[in-house]
Amino acid sequence: MVPIVDQMIERSLFVSDYLRDHPHLAQWRTSNNAALAFTDAEVITMGLMQGGLGVDTLKKTYSLIAATFREWFPRWIAYQQWLARLHALSEGIGRLVWASVQITGQALRVYVFDSKPIPVCQPIRQGRVRLLREDGAYFGKTKAGWFFGFKLHAVIHISGVVLDAVLTPGNWADGKLALRLCEAIDGGIGLGDTSYGGQPVQAELAEEADLLVITPGAAGKRRKTLISCLRERIETVFSALWSLFVDRVFSRSWHGLWNTIKLKVLQYNLCHQGIVSQ
């Protein structure tokens, strides 16, 4: 395993280089105080270290870095201030996710579509939970049973890179988000489960996104095994995101939850493509 120090340096260089080349991402501030002692790159780098440190919350990440690497940061800030800055940089984190995709070209236009439940509570508390209800948390169902929370819909290149993702209430159908996810790709072949197999969905994707959707049920016996093997790719990706605690919800708002998920997707892409070590 690569030392934590080296991991932090690699993430810091990636983030710093991108923010330096895209200074407009800092223009959301209304204050004249543009020269911040604690930079945006430092804020995001600390958030990305959650995966390297192997902890399940941003608060633990902050505490460990404060205890071990505080001397690296000339002007330290309090946890609440850091968290507010991190969530205010949500757009920049989304752009970094896109940058992590673009670094290595994906010539083969084969993609996998699927979703992962993001429950906000244990099943025993589903009847009385109030967390994030006003932000859209709702009941959904998977093969494993009912859950209360959100769904992470993703389109993943066959190489394993997460190209785009959308967070919706738990009851949103997968096929409903397919066209939105196609904004990240330029036609090709899409592999999905039966949720993407309806004629209206397939016709819309073919016309609007130049995408041929293939599901196991429509592939025929000879190709069904191949498709099942290819779809195992997304299970591997979701497993890697699970190891980064993508489905552990500690946020108190949809915005905070979505931003932490984007950080974990960025962490996964950077490691998967060899841009940073793990």
Are 231 and 121 found together in one domain? yes
Look up residue 195 and give its two tokens: 């949720």
With respect to residue 69, please indicate whether it lies within any of the assigned structural domains: yes
108: tokens are 């083969």
Same domain for 67 and 128, yes or no, is no
CA distance 215 to 207: 18
Range of the domain at 43: 4-88
- Judged against a pLDDT cut of 70, whether residue 219 lies above it is answered with no
Q: Is residue 98 part of a domain?
A: no
Mean pLDDT estimate for the chain: 87
> 138-149 pLDDT, tens per residue?
999 888 889 999
Ranges assigned E (strand) in the chain? 110-119, 138-142, 145-157, 162-169, 188-191, 211-214
Q: Find the range with the poorest average confidence among 53-62, 122-131, 187-196, 218-227.
A: 218-227
84 and 112 assigned to the same domain = no
Does 195 lie in the same domain as 118? Answer: yes
* 109 shares its domain with 50: no
Do 127 and 220 lie in a common domain?
yes
Rounded Cα distance between 162 and 174, Å, is 16
Q: Do 110 and 242 have their domain in common?
A: yes
Q: Residue 28: its pLDDT value, please?
A: 62
261 inside domain: no
pTM of the model: 0.90
Is 273 part of any domain?
A: no
| 113 and 238 inside one domain | yes
Q: What is the pLDDT of residues 120-134, one digit of tens each?
A: 988 888 777 778 988
pLDDT confidence of 196, banded at 50, 70, 90?
confident
Is 164 inside a domain boundary? yes
Q: What is the mean pLDDT of residues 256-277?
A: 93
* Band of pLDDT at residue 1, cut at 50, 70 and 90: low
Please give the tally of structural domains in the chain: 2
Burial class (CB in 10 A: 0-12, 13-18, 19+), 220: exposed
Predicted confidence at residue 218, as pLDDT, reads 64
Q: Let me know whether 18 and 46 are in one domain.
A: yes
Question: In terms of domains, do 84 and 152 share one?
Answer: no
Given phi > 0 = left and psi -120 to 50 = alpha, else beta, which region is 182? alpha
Q: Does pLDDT of 85 surpass 80?
A: yes
Lookup result for tokens 């940061």: 73
Query: Position 167: which residue type?
Result: L
Residues 76 and 150 in one domain: no
Pick the range with the lowest mean pLDDT from 90-99, 179-188, 224-233.
224-233
Of 179, 155, 110, give the one whose Cα is nearest residue 269.
155
Residue 64 forms part of a structural domain: yes
Q: Tens digit of pLDDT for each residue in 3-62?
A: 889 999 999 999 999 999 988 877 666 555 556 778 899 999 999 999 889 999 999 999
Which amino acid makes up residue 165? Answer: A
Range with top average pLDDT, 99-113, 177-191, 227-241: 177-191
138 and 30, same domain (yes or no): no
